[in-house]
Amino acid sequence: MNDIHIITRRSFIRNLGLASGGLIIACSVPTTSTNDKKKLRAFNGSTFEPNLFIQLKDNGELVLLASRSEMGNGVRTSLTSVIADEMEADWTMVTVKQATGDVKYMDQNTDGSRSVRTLYEPMRKMGATAKAMLKAAAAKKWDVAATSLIAENHHIVNPATQKKLFFGDLVSEAATMPVPENPPLKDPKDFNYIGTDLKSIDGPGFASGKPKYGMDIKLDGMKYVAIARCPVTFGTLKSFEKDDATAVVGVEQVIEIPKINRPFGSLGGVAVVANNTWAAFTGRDALRVEWEPGANKGYSTEAYTKMIVDNVHQKGKEVQNIGNINRAFANAEHIVESTYTMPHLVHAPMEVPNATAHVKADGSCEVWAPTQDPQTARAEVADFLKVDKENVTINVTFLGGGFGRKSKPDFIVEAVAASKAINAPAQVVWTREDDIQHSYYHTISAQYMKGALDKEGKVTGWLHRVAYPSITSTFAPDTGYAAGFEFGMGMTNQPYPLENILCENAKAPAHVRIGWYRSVINIIQGFSVNAFVDELAAKAEKDPLAFRLELLGPDRIVESPDGYNFDSAKLKHVLTTAAKNAGYGGSLPEGHAIGLAMHYSFLSYVASAIEVSVVNGKMKIHKITSVIDCGTAVNTSTIEAQMQGAAIFGMSLTMYGKITAKDGAIEQSNYHDYQVVRMNETPEINIEIIKSSAKPTGVGEPGVPPIAPAIVNALYQVTGKRYHTLPLKDHGLV
Amino acid sequence: MATLKINGKEYTIEADSSMPLLWAIRDLVGLTGTKFGCGKGLCGACSVMLDGVSIRSCLTPVSAAEGKNIITIEGVENENKVLQEVWDELNVPQCGYCQSGQIISAAALLASNASPTSDDIDTAMSGNICRCGTYPRIKNAILKTAELNQNSN
């Protein structure tokens, strides 16, 4: 149930940062956290919990108060287009105002590919409500029945008389109309914007350098800050010598940043405060600091990888046990075994972590930052300053990429700590080296898979054992074991209805901060499942496509309590469509082959077919064909862009992605040794979006997981070799 | 003290002559469209035109830019407005952060090569990283701009 309300109370409107007047429609979108609900009640003084807002001004301007962060996901455009479509608004009259971090705007964490998914229905309902009230207002003016009127391009029109009234001119009257209970929603065949290639609402600005990202904020008296942090995660400061740093022209002072033992606390270190960024960087490099590396100083990737490989070769903790795996292996005609390893990865968004904070004399604090999660940032800042959250304002700037890195506000806490220490506005900027060496890393993994085949090449047993430091280690004492939500990203919900399945988890303690990274564990488990099925197909001497279709079996629905059921027919359809679009099974140039993979994640179905060749030992990717079924496609231009970007993101991690530690310190430092794909390596990328009227599902992340396995499956066709460890640069292929 | 000519306008700034042009433009002049990405000339986010050539302002000291004609993203409108319009029309940007540098490199390419091939574009643009992966649309935008410019000549 989504309750729609009209907001008229002036103090409330002011609190939202909106201009007074006009028609303000609010919706209460259920939040998952009861705690948040309690806070909302306190805020509103009642059970009325509006948390999503639009305003139609009397000049006709339609403003969406955007609760989700724009980081390339196109969310400001997609959400706005849904309301505009239902309202029959003129797209040129639509603007977006970015909400500050506050529970009154519902869950603002822009992650999990769920912004459109969770807001689509409430947004439609709000648009329909606004339209119904505008019609009622026009009906009153013309003294006709509202049902006889239509909305068209920002006007209410009376088809009988051809008279029309501009939305803006109806606003004050509309605001006095009763709120309709269940305003009718448009028939999807009448959508104007939904399902089209709608351009970004922020597009012209991007092409002229106008949008403000975190570092573009300039405040009077603001100081620039660069911080030296311990190379080993959670190491501490022993001593520092600052004279060489203060000798740098522009450096004003050197201060300590406290180490805060919270999941998103600052790592602590020595901060150089200067009157420009360059001086801060130069001063930071001139510091001489001694660190106490602490418990993680023994972390070295080579030894650690060996250890987790050993661990996955021994019995682990059972997380899923179906049928009788031992009997399946005992009765098998063939057994196939493989061990896969993948290293840590880092997000490396083009915009490094940065934040600007101003802790004021009255104890209040204002922050400007590229954050995916402004509410968590607000909570962390309030905790650090020991003030009520109401005293903390988090302004969300544009994000120069996030990919999960900017959902962790440690860099914001640093800026607040710096501002507090110097009694002036402070802008903390990380260098690229800081970003690569002090992140919340995508986890390192080892996986062991063992399959049983019978005489007909049918899979009769499936053992999947994983070891990776868990994301939960960032939040709670580390047990060395992962959590259900991690297993559910491609292991315990793998798509094949097999009779005998055993999934296990082996130990892998964390020695760096572990965090979300675009597509998260789906990258890891999607890789092993798709690569292993190909190996089983080869053992069964069957075509990889036919083998997968046979293994998927008759179409079936797996019901889910959240109402988003898994439909195997949809997965089958994206796979066969990708194969067809790629020309799978047809004739290819000499030495070329197509590899396949499919993965269900973030409630969307994606398959990729990737054509590669190897010439003189080097791989060339010729074409990536991906197909997505994400339910109703809200913005096809954005979906295509996200899928293209996901393919390139997937290529980067497959070819180059590798973060390693030695004696606890990260060995990579910048884009020369943490390479990402460039234009000259980018192949033709063909995207198809399956037409669907189902509820919209995830778009930002689901395109990534099939890329790595499709590439290695293609390489097998070409070279006869199985590549079980990524990245491919370690095999000399790139 | 240094004098920089940026987008046709002269700015006198208090900068150490070894300061990279990037920080002079961003922190001292206050034009923030030019972005910091890596500080090592590896990603191209900081690209500006120096006498018509796309250079990495994070590695170029102020002393090397004095007396030269600097064009930043804020000045591209006067160099190649069509490119910017096509960029918007094809909905090229995702997060947008690297796009200033991408457009600078694209404008510099088109100024020296009115009808670049796909390979020419790869060569000219591969110094500019886009982590969102907008490369396919960047290439289309450059090809389309070249086509429009050819037709209007």
Domains and CATH numbers, chain B: 2-38+47-72 (3.10.20.30), 75-152 (1.10.150.120)
Our CA-based measurement puts residue B50 at a distance from the nearest CA of chain A, in whole angstroms, of 18
Residues of B whose CB is below 8 A from A349: 95, 97, 131
Please indicate, yes or no, if residue A228 is contained in any of the structural domains.
no
- List A residues 549-608 in contact with B (Cβ-Cβ < 8 A): none
Distance separating alpha carbons of residues A596 and A610, to the nearest angstrom:
7
Same domain, A621 and A701: yes
pLDDT value, residue A620: 98
Residues of B whose CB is below 8 A from A199: 88-89, 91
Of the listed ranges A173-182, A297-306, A550-559, A676-685, the least confidently predicted one is: A173-182
Q: Does position A13 have pLDDT exceeding 90, yes or no? A: no
Our CA-based measurement puts residue A4 at a distance from the nearest CA of chain B, in whole angstroms, of 32
Q: Phi and psi for A581 in degrees, rounded to 5? A: -60, -30
Residues of B whose CB is below 8 A from A399: 95
The residue in chain B having the minimum alpha-carbon distance to the alpha carbon of residue A403 is B132
Beta-carbon contacts of residue A510 (< 8 Å; ≥ 6 apart)? A443, A469, A470, A473, A474, A478
- pLDDT, one tens digit per residue, over A608-631 is 999 999 999 999 999 999 999 999
Same domain, A552 and A691: yes
Residues of B whose CB is below 8 A from A71: 95
Is there a contact between B95 and A398 (Cβ–Cβ < 8 Å)? Answer: yes
Check CB contact under 8 Å for B137 and A676.
no
Check CB contact under 8 Å for A400 and B35.
yes
- Range B4-9, long-range pairs (CB < 8 A, 24+ positions): B4/B29, B4/B62, B4/B65, B4/B66, B4/B70, B5/B67, B5/B68, B5/B69, B5/B70, B6/B31, B6/B70, B6/B71, B6/B72, B6/B75, B7/B70, B7/B71, B7/B72, B7/B74, B7/B75, B7/B78, B8/B75, B8/B78
Of the listed ranges A203-207, A281-285, A448-452, A457-461, the least confidently predicted one is: A203-207
- pLDDT, one tens digit per residue, over A704-729 is 999 999 999 999 999 999 999 999 99
Our CA-based measurement puts residue B60 at a distance from the nearest CA of chain A, in whole angstroms, of 13
- pLDDT, one tens digit per residue, over B74-108 is 999 999 999 999 999 999 999 999 999 999 999 99
Please indicate, yes or no, if residue A221 is contained in any of the structural domains.
no
Same domain, A592 and A623: yes
Please indicate, yes or no, if residue A211 is contained in any of the structural domains.
no
Our CA-based measurement puts residue B21 at a distance from the nearest CA of chain A, in whole angstroms, of 10
Q: Does A674 touch chain B (CB under 8 A)?
A: no
Q: Give me the mean pLDDT over the A95-121 stretch.
A: 87
Check CB contact under 8 Å for B43 and A679.
no
Please indicate, yes or no, if residue A107 is contained in any of the structural domains.
yes
- pLDDT, one tens digit per residue, over A462-498 is 999 999 999 999 999 999 999 999 999 999 999 999 9
Q: Does position A35 have pLDDT exceeding 70, yes or no? A: no
Residue A41 pLDDT class (50, 70, 90 cuts): very low
pLDDT value, residue A40: 39
pLDDT value, residue B153: 66
Q: Does position A36 have pLDDT exceeding 80, yes or no? A: no
Of the listed ranges A7-11, A92-96, A541-545, A580-584, the least confidently predicted one is: A7-11
- List A residues 675-714 in contact with B (Cβ-Cβ < 8 A): 676-680, 682, 684-685
- List B residues 24-83 in contact with A (Cβ-Cβ < 8 A): 26-28, 30-40, 42-43, 45, 72-74, 76-77
Candidate from B27, B103, B123 with C-beta closest to A276: B27
pLDDT value, residue A269: 98
CATH of the domain at A71: 3.30.365.10
Cis peptide before A727 (omega within 30 of 0): yes
Check CB contact under 8 Å for B138 and A648.
no
- List A residues 57-116 in contact with B (Cβ-Cβ < 8 A): 70-74
The residue in chain B having the minimum alpha-carbon distance to the alpha carbon of residue A198 is B91
Residue range of the domain that includes A242: 234-267+353-429
Of the listed ranges A19-23, A47-51, A222-226, A230-234, the least confidently predicted one is: A47-51
Of the listed ranges A1-10, A261-270, B102-111, the least confidently predicted one is: A1-10
C-alpha dist (Å) from residue A19 to A548, A595, B125: 57, 55, 44
Check CB contact under 8 Å for A216 and B42.
no
Please indicate, yes or no, if residue A293 is contained in any of the structural domains.
no
Q: Does position B65 have pLDDT exceeding 90, yes or no? A: yes
- Closest C-alpha among A560, A512, A524 to residue A663: A512
Residues of B whose CB is below 8 A from A397: none
The residue in chain B having the minimum alpha-carbon distance to the alpha carbon of residue A399 is B95
Residue B31 pLDDT class (50, 70, 90 cuts): very high
Beta-carbon contacts of residue A563 (< 8 Å; ≥ 6 apart)? none
Same domain, A494 and A607: yes
Domain boundary among A429, A459, A477: A429
Residues of B whose CB is below 8 A from A398: 95-97
Check CB contact under 8 Å for B42 and A672.
yes
Residues of A whose CB is below 8 A from B87: 203, 206-207
pLDDT value, residue A106: 76
Instruction: Please tell me whether residue A474 adopts helix, strand or coil conformation.
Output: helix
Same domain, A525 and A417: no
Please indicate, yes or no, if residue A104 is contained in any of the structural domains.
yes
What sign results for the dihedral spanned by CA atoms B122, B128, B133, B137?
negative
Name the amino acid, one letter, at A464. H
Q: Does position A592 have pLDDT exceeding 60, yes or no? A: yes
Average pLDDT, chain B: 96
Same domain, A169 and A192: yes
pLDDT value, residue A31: 59
Q: Does position B135 have pLDDT exceeding 70, yes or no? A: yes
- List B residues 108-147 in contact with A (Cβ-Cβ < 8 A): 121-123, 125-139
pLDDT value, residue A15: 80
C-alpha dist (Å) from residue A569 to A301, A603, A605, A629: 41, 14, 10, 11
Beta-carbon contacts of residue A37 (< 8 Å; ≥ 6 apart)? A31, A49
Average pLDDT, chain A: 94
Check CB contact under 8 Å for B43 and A278.
no
Distance separating alpha carbons of residues B147 and B133, to the nearest angstrom:
23
Check CB contact under 8 Å for A349 and B131.
yes
Is there a contact between A268 and A236 (Cβ–Cβ < 8 Å)? Answer: yes
Instruction: Please tell me whether residue B136 adopts helix, strand or coil conformation.
Output: helix
Same domain, A499 and A607: yes
Check CB contact under 8 Å for B27 and A277.
yes
Check CB contact under 8 Å for B94 and A641.
yes
Same domain, A385 and A513: no
Is there a contact between A210 and A216 (Cβ–Cβ < 8 Å)? Answer: no
Check CB contact under 8 Å for A679 and B135.
yes
Residues of A whose CB is below 8 A from B30: 218
Tokens of A683: 């192949």
Same domain, A306 and A411: no
- List A residues 331-360 in contact with B (Cβ-Cβ < 8 A): 348-352
Is there a contact between B62 and B20 (Cβ–Cβ < 8 Å)? Answer: yes
Residues of A whose CB is below 8 A from B40: 432, 670-672
Q: What b-and-e string marks burial along A698-734, b requiring 16 or more CB atoms within 10 Å of the CB?
A: bbbbbbbbbbbbbbbbbbbbbbeebbbbbbbeeeebb
Residues of B whose CB is below 8 A from A352: 36-37
Q: Does A153 touch chain B (CB under 8 A)?
A: no
Residues of A whose CB is below 8 A from B142: none
Pick from B22, B25, B99, B132 the residue to mutate for testing the A interface (most A CBs within 10 Å): B132
Our CA-based measurement puts residue A350 at a distance from the nearest CA of chain B, in whole angstroms, of 6
Of the listed ranges A114-118, A329-333, A532-536, A685-689, the least confidently predicted one is: A114-118
Instruction: Please tell me whether residue A16 adopts helix, strand or coil conformation.
Output: helix
Express the helix, strand and coil content of chain B in percent, nearest 5 each. 45, 15, 40
Counting the structural domains of chain A, the total is 3
Please indicate, yes or no, if residue A282 is contained in any of the structural domains.
no
Q: Does position A34 have pLDDT exceeding 50, yes or no? A: no
Residues of B whose CB is below 8 A from A701: none
Check CB contact under 8 Å for A281 and B125.
no
Same domain, A242 and A101: no
Distance separating alpha carbons of residues A406 and A389, to the nearest angstrom:
20
Please indicate, yes or no, if residue A691 is contained in any of the structural domains.
yes
Same domain, A551 and A597: yes
Distance separating alpha carbons of residues A517 and A523, to the nearest angstrom:
9
Domain boundary among A396, A429, A462: A429
Our CA-based measurement puts residue B153 at a distance from the nearest CA of chain A, in whole angstroms, of 24
Distance separating alpha carbons of residues A707 and A72, to the nearest angstrom:
20
Candidate from A200, A278, A431 with C-beta closest to B91: A200
Same domain, A14 and A104: yes
Residues of A whose CB is below 8 A from B72: 209
- List A residues 474-533 in contact with B (Cβ-Cβ < 8 A): none
Q: Does position A242 have pLDDT exceeding 50, yes or no? A: yes
The residue in chain B having the minimum alpha-carbon distance to the alpha carbon of residue A652 is B131
Check CB contact under 8 Å for A352 and B36.
yes
Q: Does position A48 have pLDDT exceeding 60, yes or no? A: no
Q: Give me the mean pLDDT over the A550-568 stretch.
A: 94
The residue in chain B having the minimum alpha-carbon distance to the alpha carbon of residue A436 is B38
Q: Both ends of chain B: CA-CA distance in Å? A: 43
- pLDDT, one tens digit per residue, over A275-316 is 999 999 999 999 999 999 999 999 999 999 999 999 999 999
- Closest C-alpha among A435, A302, A419, A446 to residue A360: A419
pLDDT value, residue A103: 81
Check CB contact under 8 Å for A350 and B129.
yes
Q: pTM here?
A: 0.96
Q: Does position A42 have pLDDT exceeding 50, yes or no? A: no
- Closest C-alpha among A413, A373, A418, A367 to residue A394: A367
pLDDT value, residue A49: 64
pLDDT value, residue A114: 86
Of the listed ranges A198-207, A268-277, B23-32, the least confidently predicted one is: A198-207
Q: What b-and-e string marks burial along A380-392, b requiring 16 or more CB atoms within 10 Å of the CB?
A: bbbbbbebebebb
Pick from A198, A252, A278 the residue to mutate for testing the B interface (most B CBs within 10 Å): A278
pLDDT value, residue A37: 42
Domain boundary among A380, A409, A429: A429
Query: Can you say how many angstroms the Cα of residue A49 is from the centroid of all Cα atoms in its chain?
Result: 27
Tokens of A555: 């179409």
